[in-house]
Homo-oligomer: A and B are copies of this chain.
Amino acid sequence: MSRYWSSIVSKLDPYVPGEQPKVSNLIKLNTNENPYGPSPAVLKVLHDEATDVLRLYPDPNADALRSAIADYYQIQPTQVFVGNGSDEVLAHTFQALLKHKQPILFPDITYSFYPVYCGLYQVEYVTVPLTNTFQIDWQDYIRPNGGIIFPNPNAPTGCGLPLSTITKLLEKNTESVVVVDEAYIDFGGESAVSLIQQFPNLLVIQTLSKSRSLAGLRVGFALGNEKLIEALERIKNSFNSYPLGRLAIVGAVAAMRDRHYFEETCKKIITTRERLAENLTGLGFEVLPSQANFLFVRHSKKDASQLSQALRRHSVIVRHFARERIDQFLRITVGTDQECDRLVAVLKTVVG
């Protein structure tokens, strides 16, 4: 505390991201990074752009990137908003589209940044419990609200909702914005992007950090009706004219265009995920059905926190959340086959 702080600062309960260890030789399965590097086409354009041109400001509107994303999804560039990682896009969304008189709704178990944004912008919220099987029941959201937000697939459970369910929710909830946070959608989920033409209150948010292997570059985006995008633009242009640098823009454009590399790496991760799920089940773990690049698992006999520490001693890091309802779960990022085999081998000695 300090007398120089605004009242907001004192009340904040900031987000704590997963550990980014500074030692190497760890098998890092804790922050859902892609085990494969970015497309070679991305690395090429980054090299080409790392020149004297960096003395110049980037395009404040990042038009090239908005067009590349619009091309990918067959929508208009005016239906695309881009930002410095999907966390920034989410922050602007809370301030621009989710701050109303009524509280917003999100699951009790979900991305733990949502209540933090609410603190930052004084957005009232109510959490809606997941079912006993850790699923979102769309009918629980049919009640007066200032907005609805959930990840699909959900984090940290990995469980997805089919498009038909999201359609039903949108048909019943027309008075407030519905944000579908699709950070992990490319690993087997059904994207709601196809619904943005039909529902003017739908905003879909995606990131290049996971399925496009660019967590280190910081690019995220939102897709929706032009009026929703305009609201985000107005906030962005009152916050930072140039959120994306030149390298982020050219790298992201190349990533969106290399569809083949993207599809191949996603496929590999899905294959490894299914194999890992089978191996973990064999070791006595309950594995929630995942459409993401991670598994959410609990063991019938071993304490999750102790398992996490045991793995750490064997140089494998996974994520454990000491939170109600999920404190017996571990969230394990799907790495390469080799990394997952190592994880399974260590677990065998620990739970065996």
Chain A positions near chain B (C-beta within 8 angstroms) = 2-9, 12-18, 20, 22, 28, 31, 33-38, 42-43, 46-47, 50-60, 84-85, 87-88, 91, 95-100, 116-117, 119-120, 175-177, 200-201, 209, 213-218, 227-228, 230-231, 233-235, 237-248, 251
Q: Nearest CB to that of A57 among chain B residues?
A: B215
Cα A113 to Cα B237 with chains together (Å): 10
B4 x A231 contact (CB < 8 A): yes
Cα A38 to Cα B50 with chains together (Å): 10
Cα A95 to Cα B119 with chains together (Å): 13
Cα A117 to Cα B52 with chains together (Å): 31
Given contacts A238-B119, A240-B91, A243-B84, contact A213 B54 (CB under 8 A): yes
Given contacts A50-B43, A52-B38, A55-B34, contact A5 B216 (CB under 8 A): no
A55 x B43 contact (CB < 8 A): no
Cα A56 to Cα B26 with chains together (Å): 13
Which residues of B have CB within 8 Å of A14?
A: 233-234, 237-238
Which residues of B have CB within 8 Å of A43?
A: 50-51, 54
A217 x B54 contact (CB < 8 A): yes
Which 9 residue pairs across A and B have the least CB separation, nearest first? A37-B52, A14-B237, A216-B246, A54-B216, A46-B50, A6-B99, A2-B227, A17-B241, A218-B245
A8 x B99 contact (CB < 8 A): yes
B238 x A217 contact (CB < 8 A): no
Which residues of B have CB within 8 Å of A237?
A: 14-16
Which residues of B have CB within 8 Å of A209?
A: 57
Given contacts A38-B55, A46-B50, A227-B4, contact A217 B235 (CB under 8 A): no
B53 x A216 contact (CB < 8 A): yes
Cα A209 to Cα B21 with chains together (Å): 30
B235 x A9 contact (CB < 8 A): yes
Q: Nearest CB to that of A1 among chain B residues?
A: B227
Given contacts A4-B97, A4-B176, contact A120 B238 (CB under 8 A): yes
Which residues of B have CB within 8 Å of A116?
A: 238
Cα A31 to Cα B242 with chains together (Å): 13
27 A–B pairs (Cβ distance < 8 Å), ordered by A: A2-B228, A2-B230, A6-B99, A9-B95, A9-B97, A15-B237, A20-B60, A28-B56, A37-B52, A37-B53, A43-B54, A46-B50, A47-B47, A50-B50, A54-B213, A54-B251, A55-B215, A57-B215, A58-B216, A58-B218, A87-B240, A88-B243, A120-B235, A216-B245, A217-B245, A218-B243, A218-B245
Give the interface centre of A4, A12, A31, A214 by most chain B CB atoms within 10 Å.
A4
Partner of A47 from the list B4, B33, B50 (CB cut-off 8 Å) is B50
Extra 9 A-B pairs, beta carbons < 8 Å, given A5-B96, A17-B242: A8-B235, A17-B241, A50-B50, A54-B216, A54-B217, A55-B214, A91-B239, A116-B238, A216-B247
B239 x A88 contact (CB < 8 A): yes
B216 x A56 contact (CB < 8 A): yes
A104 to chain B, nearest CB (A): 11
A59 x B20 contact (CB < 8 A): yes
